[in-house]
Structure 1
């Protein structure tokens, strides 16, 4: 590459950080035609001294989060097309093998196969111990029960890839400026103005923070509290091993060697050598392995979390010290310090699995850093507080190519895309976080927790149980505790999943609640089913305070709401309407209910959990100057009273006429429940007769108590999120972030009835084109499908592949699934090619190694 020491005075886009993320982003932006891209870094180039410099570059593509697998698959293909400085392909496609030492891990590897098939990873395979050793002869097959093999996994050197990406970006006009520390970002009136470096300012329109472990420091200067935690893990390389002597390589003539050695020292002789056999993971011991010529590299997460304070990291010193590398801590390799693995030291585990390393010296040893986020996913996108400020952090080499492509598309078109198709990044969006998550206490503790579990067998419903709990309490929290609620953390809120006080209901409904196997029944209670059935038969009360609530106020509020929403939003005061918000490509950005509460005032109600803040940021980002957008989530307690007896319960505590004539569906009124002021909406996510009730937070607990007392005579019970999910899926109500998101347009999602093309809204042009294409004889590539398992006693979990009967190619995957207690079957939602989405079509779902027969049904089911 050909960097320059000259700091330009102006640029269209400045990327701070020239590691694997920054180089990928510069490559992608220039490929899309963006001019005036400048990349600045405190270190030399391409060996900046960040995580990309010390990372061994292993690339396992399969992960349960679809986003990570998509990013990794794209990265693999991109790196395979790159030519390194030595003229060789940058990517080493040697395959990857994950081994199991326990039956629990073998079950996990079966899930690996299923996720790979769901996400489109090529040719996933389960191997016997003997088949593992055919690929990796140095593995002791008596130590393992089998393995998962992904033939297209492999390795890429971060330094080689950075150099290749930067060279191509430079050829397309990008400028790379090394040895230049970024000190601040100057803003004015909520917009980026310039990047302040130690050698001068660069005026610009866009700034991207792509500094990974250093991202938090720069964000703090702007008052943007990025929850990025640097964490340490160990990497070592053995001395030359006789068993690998035929693989010895002299890399000192590589064009990048001198540059690499200047930053990394002698270990560059090993790090720059690619593997010649599959990379290896021993996740039962939180370790991974790859060859470096005639030596083995040993990576270990198998120690207690080490989370340095970002303020203590410093930069890359002129004498060659890497800011992303700390001194090797011997006790973490030779002593069992991991809280979940107290019985075996990492070195012992390594020597057992690879006897060739037993007794070998470790020539190069260091603690290398990478960054963690609270949910283990990247932090991407436009920062809500400042126009022109973007983030691309908490990203590994494995995922950097795909993440940068999606972000570049986002920056250029307003829509994240990969391989030309829209990609939903709700769970990666920088705006997903709540205020408490920006604190260093929270970031540190949850970063450590994410590090601890990185190689653990984790259930998809798992939530942390000790660190950073009881952060946000709804007004009904103490009542929930008195009723022995099973509380889970959702976006910091302590939310009931079920109530142990309802255990007596299980006997009443036990014949309608099938047992579940050990894995599917983890983090589940039959009480969920009993609560759901009680709602259908009697009445229930649910705390929905955590759902995001947005108030839009101003003389142009009505026009703005219409611009946001796909439906006709010409509402009278008191009207409620279900509608969608779409992005520019017509993907569903949110589904919401909108209530006109006054002439110039609207209340928007949308999904909570960890994606709800994305909707708040979206509304704010599009609001005109004369409209005020307030997040009123915390200021309003919310609950829903729903079920056949809901009207009877409410009639005990208010004199308001609740009849269908006086209080029709999709209408709103303000009144008192005894002495508590409420706004009531005649809607219910459970699908029964019901009212959502909103009141200032200080009244919430009293309102809850009034309703519990009034409902006792009518069979009212509180119910949790587990029952709510069963209730809503039976009724065909979508859950944004699971079975509805930006990869679907309203017509594909079966929600075309919520679109009025005679109005003007964001995404209308794209949706009009879709309608026109269908009118001309075209067909959507996918269509929502409601499935039920044919075996009424079985239940599955999401994210497993769907096949035609006896088919080998996945047609789609299960987006959400839950047992429908009223319909007597497990209900699953997926998106399939239209020919397979027709009711009555038979399909199969691969789950935990077995194929389950399922049938497409007319919706709603209940």
Structure 2
């Protein structure tokens, strides 16, 4: 492969991009398209020589969420136009794709995906085994239940796509230097100031305003150089390429996830690739310095089970020789979502890495989104699925990454059941109540590394998940837990929720600047509020409790604690405050239900009456023989308190509450119950129902915004929206048929026409039917006109009538919380 002559590197640049795979080239291309100059991309060897060159080049449109699908569709459209723009052939063609199901569970999964695709504007068709055979004659359809066909999916030449992007960047003035390794990164506080580079015969330094880590499987190591956490690990990825097959015509890409296999026809040959359940991590001792267009040793024994199933599924493979057995490394992240965005630890470090074998189909959109984010300083739309700020610091631990990566490669083709939990690298972050909950039958899930009781097994019931798309084995357990909360008392552990202490002489002024709510409140007052961006979108959904004249406690969801703290730090300006994560210092036990007050009165001498401790206030209490602080708030819509206890006393307080609660019929509950309860009450979930691109008024949260405050981030956008009127509303839905289940992303139809999709879905056990929320366009309409329509939800291609409301289906007046 020809290497371009070494360009003269400048002494300074606006941005230095490290890594010349398809993603780095895309970032350079899109920044250049935005008019950036002084772009320098440094590649340690040759462009594409890490992972891009051996990628399979599958280019699918459909991803798990609307915005990820938007990015994948953008990639496809971009690759279709690059050749005309740059003169570099990308090999892109829309030959379609077929995914087949060999089980009824997989059939439901892919049919739900098909419904979701329609909601996202992707053309898709559910097809029968006979229709599959008509499009892929070589397939043995024994055991095939059904399939889905996406006619506009495609494939391309990965290396040439990257070279086309690189040429497009150069055409607009970007400088790309190959055979140039970054050896050191200079830092001053939270900023990178320069990078050192060296070639075979020279070395130097480039001062820079920004730096982007596009280093692929080197991304973790490069991240450390930049003072940032980029959790990813390389795994071996296997495929074979057959000898030429005479007469083999162009075929759609074929995926058989139940056999962990995908098939791609290319130039008269078949490429068979695998995402096996037990992957082989690679590079534990670092990647060799001379790694360039390299492959790893063959491991036929590891690949043989995949091949054996494939020969049965595609009999022509038995008559065809193997031309190439390929084993190459690719990087995988702990949750199978790539890393994009601004590094939480640094103010001018950006990341686009860890693409989990979907780098080609993702690179165009990811480069576009990151470039816009860098250009404006704001996300162009919600990128929470891939925002690097979702990663917790411990997830950079090498042992953790090694253990988790064994699973994540295979999860690409595993059954994507609702509530599926990771099986590897577990037990790292535990509440002080962890063993107590296990002893009572808790079945743990994991979020942000936290082990959390999701539901409690009954005596004699095996305390494990049995996954399905139907009613899972814990369905009745959650119903019983919710009944306890609605009719008596439920106790559950909320210790994983983020707790951020904000203190200092400017604490009130600072929080008034970043919160939509009013922070100038009495001591012990709790304020439900949002952090807004300048467009009125929601960056965080929190409660803020005033602990003293100069100290507040911000409580956030467990998954967004780091992101929310980073938002505060980046908006601190000249305010004199200290921001401290105190999550691990305190356990939190929720006591909820109509008899919650009676339980607390049995274990504490304090007064929990409305006069002393009304809704939305906190107080310090004695409890058992310990001390705690109780917050009278609820996420389940009942009378209740969250009890904040120092970690050292948490076990004692739990034992005291549990013993007293047993005598009153209280029930231990899990977080699946909490989610069902909040859906019944119409409480929003950050990351699903409310995101940075959802306007706070359209989300129905205008009551939490106090525009009488003279200035706060997002105030002008709120006032503009009030004047202009709402373009859409977040509507709550309940199916009229009690049998179907909702999860999220199901299409919403208004008067027979698709208008959106559910942002959340679940089962309302108190209501006797599945419920959900979703945004519906309403520009210029009255509420009566909107709700007077006929609504349906598309469940696996079947339209189910739904009741629509803006008020909660359960206790719409909210009286139960204030009892």
Distance 2:279 2:573 in 1: 46
CA contact (8 A) 1:2 1:167 kept: no
The C-alpha deviation readout for 1:45-101, integer Å capped at 9, x for no partner, is 4xx312111112111222334443222111111111211665656521111112233
Instruction: Name 2:817's counterpart in structure 1.
Output: none
Taking the TM superposition and a 5 Å limit, the aligned residue runs for 1:666-705 are 666-705=616-655
Whether 1:829 and 2:777 are equivalent positions in the alignment is no
**SS in structure 2 of the partner of residue 71 of structure 1:** helix
Distance 1:462 1:440, change over 3 A: same
Report the CA distance between 1:128 and its aligned residue. 2.6
Distance 2:260 2:767 in 1: 43
617, 621, 629: which one aligns with 2:566: 617
CA contact (8 A) 1:666 1:682 kept: yes
Distance 1:620 1:311, change over 3 A: farther
Report the CA distance between 1:377 and its aligned residue. 0.5
TM-score of the superposition, structure 1-length normalised? 0.88
CA contact (8 A) 1:97 1:278 kept: yes
Distance 1:564 1:3 in 2: 50
Distance 1:495 1:292 in 2: 47
CA contact (8 A) 2:628 2:643 kept: yes
Whether 1:481 and 2:438 are equivalent positions in the alignment is yes
Distance 2:467 2:180 in 1: 57
371, 375, 391: which one aligns with 1:433: 391
Whether 1:784 and 2:742 are equivalent positions in the alignment is no
Instruction: Name 2:228's counterpart in structure 1.
Output: 224
The C-alpha deviation readout for 1:93-112, integer Å capped at 9, x for no partner, is 11111223344433332123
The C-alpha deviation readout for 1:531-574, integer Å capped at 9, x for no partner, is 11111111221210011111001111111111110122212221
**SS in structure 2 of the partner of residue 219 of structure 1:** helix
CA RMSD in angstroms, aligned pairs only: 2.3
The C-alpha deviation readout for 1:760-818, integer Å capped at 9, x for no partner, is 222233333323322xxxx41x21000011123443222211123444xx311111122
Report the CA distance between 1:176 and its aligned residue. 0.7
Report the CA distance between 1:279 and its aligned residue. 1.6
521, 533, 537: which one aligns with 2:471: 521
The C-alpha deviation readout for 1:587-639, integer Å capped at 9, x for no partner, is 1111111111111111001112x333221222222224632111111111111
Whether 1:412 and 2:369 are equivalent positions in the alignment is no
CA contact (8 A) 1:485 1:497 kept: yes
Instruction: Name 1:492's counterpart in structure 2.
Output: 449
Moved more, 518-527 or 581-590: 518-527
Whether 1:374 and 2:334 are equivalent positions in the alignment is yes
CA contact (8 A) 2:740 2:795 kept: no
Report the CA distance between 1:38 and its aligned residue. 0.9
CA contact (8 A) 2:787 2:804 kept: yes
Taking the TM superposition and a 5 Å limit, the aligned residue runs for 1:33-182 are 33-45=35-47, 48-83=48-83, 91-121=92-122, 123-142=123-142, 144-182=144-182
Whether 1:803 and 2:746 are equivalent positions in the alignment is no
Taking the TM superposition and a 5 Å limit, the aligned residue runs for 1:225-264 are 225-244=229-248
**SS in structure 2 of the partner of residue 236 of structure 1:** strand
Whether 1:463 and 2:421 are equivalent positions in the alignment is yes
Instruction: Name 2:816's counterpart in structure 1.
Output: none
Report the CA distance between 1:21 and its aligned residue. 0.7
Report the CA distance between 1:34 and its aligned residue. 2.2
Distance 1:314 1:43 in 2: 12
Taking the TM superposition and a 5 Å limit, the aligned residue runs for 1:1-16 are 4-16=6-18
Distance 2:22 2:79 in 1: 11
Distance 1:517 1:635 in 2: 34
CA contact (8 A) 1:381 1:430 kept: yes
Distance 1:645 1:503, change over 3 A: farther
Unaligned runs of 5+ in 2: 811-819
Distance 1:502 1:797, change over 3 A: farther
CA contact (8 A) 1:536 1:644 kept: yes
Instruction: Name 1:19's counterpart in structure 2.
Output: 21
Instruction: Name 1:645's counterpart in structure 2.
Output: 595
Instruction: Name 1:574's counterpart in structure 2.
Output: 524
Distance 1:478 1:554 in 2: 37
313, 316, 322: which one aligns with 2:293: 322
CA contact (8 A) 1:409 1:416 kept: yes
CA contact (8 A) 1:183 1:218 kept: no
Taking the TM superposition and a 5 Å limit, the aligned residue runs for 1:574-593 are 574-593=524-543
Distance 2:219 2:714 in 1: 33
Distance 1:88 1:716 in 2: 67
Distance 1:624 1:719, change over 3 A: same
Distance 1:789 1:308, change over 3 A: same
Report the CA distance between 1:647 and its aligned residue. 1.4
Distance 1:243 1:653 in 2: 80
Whether 1:765 and 2:713 are equivalent positions in the alignment is no
Unaligned runs of 5+ in 1: 248-275, 337-345, 505-515
Report how many aligned residue pairs link the two structures.
Answer: 790
CA contact (8 A) 1:213 1:310 kept: no
The C-alpha deviation readout for 1:208-239, integer Å capped at 9, x for no partner, is 10111110111233453422011111122222
400, 404, 408: which one aligns with 1:450: 408
TM-score of the superposition, structure 2-length normalised? 0.92
CA contact (8 A) 1:214 1:310 kept: no
Distance 1:714 1:349, change over 3 A: closer
Report the CA distance between 1:449 and its aligned residue. 0.7
**SS in structure 2 of the partner of residue 204 of structure 1:** strand
The C-alpha deviation readout for 1:317-345, integer Å capped at 9, x for no partner, is 5xxx425x323322233x22xxxxxxxxx
211, 218, 223: which one aligns with 2:215: 211
Distance 1:701 1:605, change over 3 A: same
